[in-house]
Amino acid sequence: MLITNNLCRSFSVLLCILGMNACKPGSVVLSFYLENPSDQPRNAALVLLTRAAIQDKSKEKISPYYKVLLNDKVVDCQFDDIDKDGQWDELVFLQDFKAGEKITIHLEGIEKPDTINVTPRAHVRHKRKLDGPEFGPSLERDSIDGTQKATDFTKQKLPPFLTEGPAWENDQLGFRLYYDVRNGKDIWGKLIPDMVLDKVGTDTAKSYHNLDSWGMDLLKVGSSLGAGALALYIPDLDGKDSLVRVGGSNIGKTVYEQVADGPVRAIFRMHYNDWKLHPSVSPVSITEVIQIWGGQLFYESSVIVKQLPKQAQLVTGIVNLHDAEKKELKQGTARAVYTHHIQSENKDALGMAIVLSENELSGFTTSKNTDTDIKNTYLVKMKTSENQAVRFRFYAAWEKSHPANAKAIGFEEFLNKELQQFQQPLIIR
C-alpha cells in the first residue's frame, strides 16, 4: 500500500513568525514562566506547550494560533497535530538557557501563522523510487509487508526507497532506518547544518559511504542492532531465552507515518503490526515514535508494545564491530551505556550512547553472538509493560563534526551533562 498527499503539508511547517499576520486589537496575551533547574547551560532546549496547558492559561477561547515573544522578539516555533485530527496539539520552540536561568515568554493570539521560509533545523523524509532513476515526493504514510527484502546492489543501482528507508536529521547529525526485513538503524555524520538527506543517495556516481562535503554514512551495522534498533527478549521460549529482532518476514505489515516535519523538530511513527514471532505466542504489535529537534546529538524514541509476551522485555542496543569497550554512567535517576572508539566508516573516532531513566532500565548486557540473528551488540534491556511507553535517547558524536568529543574523556564529560539535564526537565508554568 502506498499513500501520499502532494497537496497538504503537516501543521508542523507552520511557523509563529511576526510579519503580515499582525494580531487583532485586543488579542489576549498569555505568559509562561520557564526555568532551567540545572547548574549547566542548555542549548536548543525543546520547550513544549500543550494545547491543554495553553487553554488552562486562557480565560477566553483558545486562539487559532500564537506567536511566541521573548523580550519583545519573536521566536520561531511550530504547531504539531500529534493525533492527526486536523487540530494542532503542541506548540514547540527551541530556547537556549544559562545555568539556572528563569525567563518569561508571552503568547500573542493570531488568526493565521505566517508561512514564510526560515532555516529548518529538523527534517524527516521517506521516498519511494519511481519507475525511472528518480525518487518521488516525501510520503506522509507508506507500508510494506514481510516480503520486503534488503536491496541487492549488485543487481540494482538504486534501492526501492531513498537510502533504503526513512531518514531523519537535524542541524548536527542524522539517522536512517532500513525499511525491509533487517529493520536496522544507521548514522549520518554531517559537516554542514543544512538539511541534506533529500539529495543523499539520489546520484549513483556518488557513494554516501565516502566522505563528501556534507558528511557521510558513518556506521557499519551488519547483524547488530546498529544505532538503537529494537528487539524483544523473551525468556524460556521453547526452553531457551530468545532475543528476536523487531522486523523480518513474520511481521504482517510495517507502516511508516510522518507526524511532523520541522522546522523545529521532526516526528514519525513506525507501526509493526501482527508480528507472529513464534507459534506459542500471540501476535504482537509495536509502535515506535521517533523525534529529533535542532541542536542535539540524539534522537528520542518512545515505544509501546501490545500483546506483550509473558515476562518479555523490549531491547535496544549499540553496535560493536570494533572491540570497543562498553562503559556505563549513572547520575541520579539517569543511566547511560556508551562506547567511544575508532569505529566510524571514515576510520576515526565515533562516540555512541543510549540514555534512559533508571526506572525503565532492566539492565545492560552483551549479545551472545550464537543462536541469534542479533550479534555484535551491547544491549539495553528495558522494563516493559503492556501499553505503557518506554523511552530512550540514542546519541552519536563524530570527531570530524564535533571535535570536542574526539577523545573518550570529552564524550564522557558531555554525557554527564546530558544525564543531569535528562533527569532535570525544564520547569514550565
pLDDT tens digit sequence for 337-378: 999 999 999 999 999 999 999 999 999 999 998 888 899 999
Per the model's pLDDT, the better-predicted residue between 97 and 26 turns out to be 97
Mention the CATH class of domain 11-110. mainly beta
Q: What is the mean pLDDT of the chain?
A: 92
pLDDT at 394 over 60: yes
Q: Which of 31-35, 56-60, 253-257, 392-396 has the lowest mean pLDDT?
A: 56-60
Per the model's pLDDT, the better-predicted residue between 15 and 283 turns out to be 283
CATH topology of domain 120-429: Beta-galactosidase; Chain A, domain 5 (2.70.98)
pLDDT at 115: 62
pLDDT at 28: 59
pLDDT at 7 over 90: no
The confidence band for 131, taking pLDDT boundaries of 50, 70 and 90, is: very high
pLDDT at 112: 84
pLDDT at 9 over 90: no
pLDDT, tens digit (0-9, with 9 covering 90-100), for 218-249: 999 999 999 999 999 999 888 888 999 999 88
pLDDT at 295 over 60: yes
pLDDT at 280: 87
pLDDT at 19 over 50: no
The confidence band for 27, taking pLDDT boundaries of 50, 70 and 90, is: low
Q: Where are the domains of the chain?
A: 11-110, 120-429
Reduce the secondary structure of the chain to three states and give it as a string: CEECCCCCCCHHHCECCCCCCCCCCCCCEEEEEEECCCCCCEEEEEEEEEHHHHHHHCCCCCCCEEEEEECCEEECEEEECCCCCCCCCEEEEEEEECCCCEEEEEEEEECCCCCCCCCCCEEEECCEECCCCCECCCCCEEEECCCCCCCCCCCCCCCCEHHHCCEEEECCEEEEECCCCCCCEEEEEECCCCCCCCCCCCCCCCCCCCCCCCEEECCCCCCCCCECCCEEEEEEECCEEEEEECCCCCEEEEEEEEEEECCCEEEEEEEEEEECCCCCCCCEEEEEEEEEECCCCEEEEEEEEECCCCCCEEEEEEECCCCCCCEEEEECCEEEEEEEEECCCCCCEEEEEEEEEHHHEEEEEECCCCCCCCCCEEEEEECCCCCCCEEEEEEEEECCCCHHHCCHHHHHHHHHHHHHHHCCCCEEC
pLDDT at 429 over 80: yes
| Mean pLDDT of the 96-119 span | 89
The confidence band for 10, taking pLDDT boundaries of 50, 70 and 90, is: very low
| Mean pLDDT of the 121-145 span | 97
pLDDT, tens digit (0-9, with 9 covering 90-100), for 165-196: 999 999 999 999 999 999 999 999 999 999 99
pLDDT at 411: 98
